[in-house]
Amino acid sequence: MNILLISPPTPATFWSFKHVLRFVSKRAAFPPLGLLTVAATLPDDWHLKLVDMNVRRLTDRDLQWADYVMLSAMIVHKESIAGIVDRCHSFGKPVIAGGPLFTTGHEAFPDIDHLVLGEAEELMPQLVEDMRCGTLRRMYAATRRPEITQVPIPRWDLINLRHYVTMSVQYSRGCPFDCEFCDIVVMNGHVPRTKTPAQLVAELEQLRVRGWRDMVFIVDDNFIGNKKQAILLLQELIRWRQRTGTRMGFLTEASTNLADDPELCELMVQAGFKKVFVGLETPSTESLQECGKLQNCRRDLAESVVILQRAGLDVMGGFIVGFDNDPVDIFKRQFDFIQRSGVVTAMVGLLTALPETRLYRRLQQEGRLETESTGNNTQAELNFRPVLGREFLLNGYRDLMKKLYEPRNYYQRICTFLQHKRPGVSRGRLSWSDIQAFLKSLWLLGVWHRGRLAYWRLCLTILVRRPRQFHHALELAIIGYHFRRVSQLL
Quote the pLDDT of residue 380: 73
344, part of any domain: yes
437, part of any domain: yes
Quote the pLDDT of residue 376: 74
Quote the pLDDT of residue 315: 98
Angle 79-82-86 from CA coordinates, rounded to 5°: 155
What residues pair up with 306 in beta bridges, in sequence order? none
| pLDDT tens digits, one per residue of 142-151 | 999 999 999 9
382, part of any domain: yes
Average pLDDT, the chain: 94
246, part of any domain: yes
159, part of any domain: no
Stated as kind and residue range, the H or E segment containing 92 is: none
89, part of any domain: yes
User: How many domains are there within the chain?
Assistant: 3
Buried b (16+ CB within 10 A) or exposed e, 340-354: ebbbbbbbbbbbbbb
51, part of any domain: yes
Full-model pTM: 0.94
Quote the pLDDT of residue 471: 86
8, part of any domain: yes
Q: C-alpha 452: how far from its chain's center?
A: 29
Stated as kind and residue range, the H or E segment containing 281 is: strand 273-281
Separation of alpha carbons 245 and 190, rounded Å:
36
Chunked mean pLDDT (size 10), the chain, 490 residues: 97 89 91 98 98 98 98 95 98 98 94 97 97 97 94 98 97 96 93 97 98 96 97 98 96 98 97 97 98 95 97 97 98 98 96 95 97 76 94 96 97 96 61 73 85 93 91 92 91
Quote the pLDDT of residue 291: 97
Quote the pLDDT of residue 356: 94
Separation of alpha carbons 302 and 306, rounded Å:
6
Quote the pLDDT of residue 441: 82
Residue 453: give the domain boundaries. Answer: 432-488
Separation of alpha carbons 490 and 480, rounded Å:
16
Q: Are residues 267 and 351 in the same domain?
A: yes
| pLDDT tens digits, one per residue of 412-450 | 999 999 999 987 554 545 566 667 777 888 888 988 888
Q: Are residues 220 and 290 in the same domain?
A: yes
351, 384, 404 — which closes off a domain? 404
Quote the pLDDT of residue 462: 93
CA nearest to 4, candidates 56, 39, 29: 39
